[in-house]
Structures are given as C-alpha cells and as structure tokens.
Amino acid sequence: MLNKKIETICNRQIDREGYSSNLYLAMASWAETKGFPGIAEWLYRQSDEERMHMLKFIKYVNERGGKAIIPAMKKPQPDYPGIEEMFKEVLKHEEFITSSINEIVELTLAEKDYSTYSFLQWFVNEQIEEESSVRAVLDKLHLVGKNNMYIFDRDIVSLRASESPGE
C-alpha cells in the first residue's frame, strides 16, 4: 500500500507527464502548420511517449492501493518564436522532469518505499535518454545550420532515442 506522501507526489507526476504530452502535442501542431512534417512527427511521437509515461504512473498508483487523479488539460502556448527556441524549451522541460523524478526518488528513500524506488528506475534511465536525444537534436540543428531546415526536417526522425515508449 502506498503511503499518502508517495501517492501525492506520484499524482503530481501524473499531472506533469500529462502536461508534457500536451506540450509536445502543441509544439507538433505548431511545427506542422509551419511546414515541418519531420519535426512535427518527432514531436507527435514524443507526445505519445509522454502519455505512456503518465499511464505507467496511473497504473502503478492504482495497483499499489492508491488512487490516481486524472489531471485537467493545461493549455500550452500555441506559438513559438522559432525551431531552435522551441527545442531549447523541450530541453528545459525535460531537465525539469528529471529533477521532478529525482525528487520522488529522494522521497521513496526517506520513506523507505523500496517498491516505488524500484518502479522509478525505468524513469531515471528514460530521462537520461530523453535529455540526450534532445541535445542531439540541438547539435544537429547547429551542425546543419538554420539555412538547411529542409535537410534538418528530413533527418530529425532518425534522431529519436528509443521507440519503446511504454515498457
């Protein structure tokens, strides 16, 4: 049975994963309307992965005798000043999610909840991959140069770190 503190912080993470999914969906839609189908595809897939992360937390909380709270949809900003600025925003958001996961890890140790600690190890590793995947996108963007956006857009899908979202 989850203790209340762990249940509450896991519900906070459900909210954050749900927002991540929504944020990347808004970015995907924006990129699509700007004529970047490859970037949009990268972001649509990222949005799906984030929904899987949210589901993992929901199922875990319920399985352990807690009650998952489904969050309201917060509206992300609909427009971005440019592709690079948008990916910098993605990196900043992933760093925020990493620190959010680390806070839960710290709490599980303080509360001696080793089952949740073990559940979180998948997320700890996932965050390493996600941050490095976004850094690779930013590196590629600098390498290709902003004047070759056609090539960047064509190649970005091959930069995805992993295609195994849920398991």
Among 7, 113, 130, 153, binds ligand OFO (CB under 6 A): 130
Computed on alpha carbons and rounded to an integer, the radius of gyration of the chain in Å comes to: 17
The verdict on 117 binding ligand OFO (CB under 6 A) reads no
Among 20, 47, 108, 116, binds ligand OFO (CB under 6 A): 20
The verdict on 113 binding ligand OFO (CB under 6 A) reads no
The verdict on 57 binding ligand OFO (CB under 6 A) reads no
The verdict on 50 binding ligand OFO (CB under 6 A) reads yes
| Shortest distance in whole angstroms from residue 91 CB to ligand OFO | 11
| Shortest distance in whole angstroms from residue 134 CB to ligand OFO | 9
CA distance 152 to 109: 43
| Shortest distance in whole angstroms from residue 76 CB to ligand OFO | 14
By CB under 6 A, how many residues form the interface with ligand OFO?
A: 9
> Contact positions toward ligand OFO, by CB under 6 A?
17, 20, 50, 53, 94, 97, 123, 126, 130
